[in-house]
Amino acid sequence: MEKMKRAERMVAITQLLMSNPNVLTPLTLFAERFGTAKSTISEDLMAVKGSFQLSGQGRLETVSGAAGGVRYIPEISSAEAALFLSKLAQRLSEKERILAGGFLYMTDLLYDPAVLRPLGLIFASSFREKGPEVVVTIETKGIPLALVTAEALGLPMVVIRTGNKVTEGSSVSINYVSGSSRRIQMMSLSRRALDPRRKVLVIDDFMKAGGTALGIKNLMKEFEADVVGIGVLVETQITSEPKLVEGYLSLLKLRELDLNSGKSIIVPEELLFNGL
């Protein structure tokens, strides 16, 4: 490859790092790829790091030592998060989104990468310091949300099945009462899907009474997992009844919902990451 100028190299480094978020890349890889000395790459990286610091969209993390290198940590600033959540709350308050049973139609948003990407960054920024090792969710609608969170954190995802559909060797099943249906249901997870004693972050789309979240917590006990966080996109705050779980983070709160008028009030959570 033809020798690059510093600015071109800095762009190429940025592209490589951002294409592999959370992956530690040794300086020698850059030096080899761009045919330059490691000291030159070091200077390039310092400049790239400085440029990232101004953006609030992600930062460069440096790991020193023989096994060291740099990795790109995707982030979102608190200001951007607040703006995004307030716009999302507004979209969810649209009249035609109210479904029978007091639910909000949000499937279109939950399956839209442009909506999911910032949500993944918001959950990641909220829970990164808890040190989760895996992101756990339950099928079906929570999967995309959990995946973008896992991607932003550089972690694998585990999906609990509802019912007893697990065909992958021995599995653990528990019964739970979903707040939405008030019926006893079953959730299952294959033994091979989750190693014992992991730190897990639970992500789901909606919380009504918290029965599903409680079920997941109980299932996690069977894997001796440490639930370091629970994050949901929307929780209902219509009744004053306490939830079945505590200490969760909900990004949006459904305060009022009038089935007759089709009016709902949704309020975003106020977040603050790293003082940004």
**Single residue of 88, 89, 92, 158 touching a copy of itself by CB under 8 A:** 158
Q: Mark the segment that binds a copy of itself (CB under 8 A) among 82-90, 100-108, 122-130, 266-274.
A: 100-108
Which one of 30, 126, 161, 245 is in contact with a copy of itself (CB under 8 A)?
161
By the 8 A CB rule, do 100 and 204 touch?
no
Pull the structure tokens for residue 162: 């509802």
**Helical residues (DSSP H) of 111-252, grouped into ranges:** 113-127, 143-153, 211-222
157 part of the interface to a copy of itself, by CB under 8 A = yes
Q: Of these, 82, 103, 171, 267, which contacts a copy of itself (CB under 8 A)?
A: 103
Contacts (CB under 8 A) with a copy of itself, residues 3-22:
4, 6-12, 14-16, 18-19
Task: Give the separation between CA 25 and CA 221, rounded to whole angstroms.
Answer: 35
Sign for the CA dihedral angle at 200, 201, 203, 209 comes to positive
Kindly tell me which residue out of 28, 37, 94, 111 binds a copy of itself, with binding defined by CB under 8 A. 111
- Contact flag: residue 24 with a copy of itself (CB under 8 A): no
Q: Which of 89, 119, 151, 206 binds a copy of itself (CB under 8 A)?
A: 151
Q: Are 211 and 181 in contact (CB under 8 A)?
A: no
Based on the shown chain and the rule CB under 8 A, indicate whether residue 54 belongs to the binding site for a copy of itself.
yes
Task: Provide the token pair at 23.
Answer: 């992956």
Q: What is the side-by-side order of every strand in the sheet holding 263-268? A: 171-177, 184-190, 157-162, 134-138, 199-207, 226-236, 249-258, 263-268
Peptide bond into 140 cis (omega under 30): yes
Give the interface segment with a copy of itself, choosing from 98-106, 207-215, 233-241, 247-255 (CB under 8 A): 98-106
- Of residues 182-211, those binding a copy of itself (CB under 8 A): 190, 192-193
Q: In this complex, which beta carbon is closest to a copy of itself, that of residue 110 or of residue 245?
A: 110
Is-contact 205 233, C-beta < 8 A?
Answer: yes
Contact call for residue 100 and a copy of itself (CB under 8 A): yes
Q: Is 32 in the site for a copy of itself (CB under 8 A)?
A: no
- Which residue's structure tokens are 């000291």? 39
Round to whole Å and give the CA distance between 160 and 138.
4
Binding-site ranges for a copy of itself (CB under 8 A)? 1, 4, 6-12, 14-16, 18-19, 23, 47-48, 50-52, 54-55, 57-58, 74, 99-101, 103, 105, 107-108, 111-114, 116-117, 139-140, 143-144, 147, 150-151, 154-159, 161, 167-169, 190, 192-193
